[in-house]
Amino acid sequence: MKKLTKKQMAVTGAIVVLGIGGITIGVVNHNNTVHAQQVAKAKAHEAKVKADKKAKAEQLAKEKEAAQQKQVATLLATATANPSDNSIKAVNDAIAKLTDQKAKAKDNELVKVLNARLSLIKKAEAAVKDYQGHATDANKQKVAQEAINNLKDENDQDVKSQLQKLFDESNKQAQEAAKSTQSNQKASSTTGTNSNAKSTDTQTNDTPAVAESGTNNQDTSSINSGNNTYVPSTPNTGGGSNTGSNTNSANTNSNIGNNTSNNNGSNSNSNNNNGGGNTTPPTPTTKYLGWVSVDGVIKYSQTFGTAGEAQQYALSMYRQEGASNWDANDISWGVRPVQG
């Protein structure tokens, strides 16, 4: 074998070195490529995990929003059928948890409508209650009926019917009370007219008796000799209730010699209205008895100076006791005049 020269050996060594270096560089490059691929794969996996997590969170949020909107819809339906402070508060609390601003704004508009309806219902209820306590007040009657008529939403027809029923019951009672009062006043007026006529007749019949009594007293007087005293006879009343008397307390005839003196001390003519004279009976004072009866037996009663006060009392007791404790067919109330 031919020996290599130094130059050849140097070239050969360089080639070997280059070959080894190339191999090393190739290995390094390969390793770098593998590492880069691993890093890229890891990043891709991490990105995918993040994306999946985000998508899952968004899906959960979407499902939660849908469930919340469904809850709002259910509460809105309940409040729409029967609006109240509690039902509307529940709707507001549910709407506050929504994240969809457009849906939230739409639901808030529906709540405004509910609040307006509830305000009208409360106003009507208060007006009817006030009218029940003052059934004879025409102004309160008008206010209550107008408040009922303002309940125009179709969902409020049940409460409107209930309030109208209560209003009609109070109105009927007021009309019956008014008729009873008018009847009692008419009867009282007739009684007063008859009493005045009777009083006039009595005075007319008594007057002749007084005149007759006075005449008889004077005609039947007697005079005796000496110092004579005038003594009236028993008065003739002529059957009347009034008496009149003429009394000569000191009518004395004195005979002294041929001279005669007549002394009339005092002559009094009295007609005493209180002591048996022309007496007019006092006009009776009419009062009014408010009463409530159960099964025909008066359970509550009280006397007042006016028919209105008696009516208010009777109606109040009727509502307090009758409406809650007795059947409507077993209990009644009214007002009647009584002589005070």
Residues 180-229: pLDDT tens digits?
777 777 776 665 555 454 444 444 444 333 333 333 333 333 333 333 33
Among all chains, which residue has been given the structure tokens 């029967």?
A: 82
SS3 62: helix
pLDDT beyond 90 at 88: yes
Is residue 77 pLDDT above 90, yes or no?
yes
- Taking only the tens place, the pLDDT of each residue in 239-252 is 333 333 333 333 33
Residue 208 host element (H or E): helix 157-219
**For residue range 14-26, what is the model confidence (pLDDT) as tens digits?**
665 555 655 667 6
Q: What is the pLDDT of residues 118-135, one digit of tens each?
A: 999 999 999 999 999 888
The CA distances from residue 166 to 45, 78, 162, 227, in Å, are 74, 25, 6, 92
pLDDT at 274 over 80: no
- Global pTM reads 0.45
The DSSP element (H or E) to which 252 belongs, if any, is strand 251-256
Residues in the chain: 340
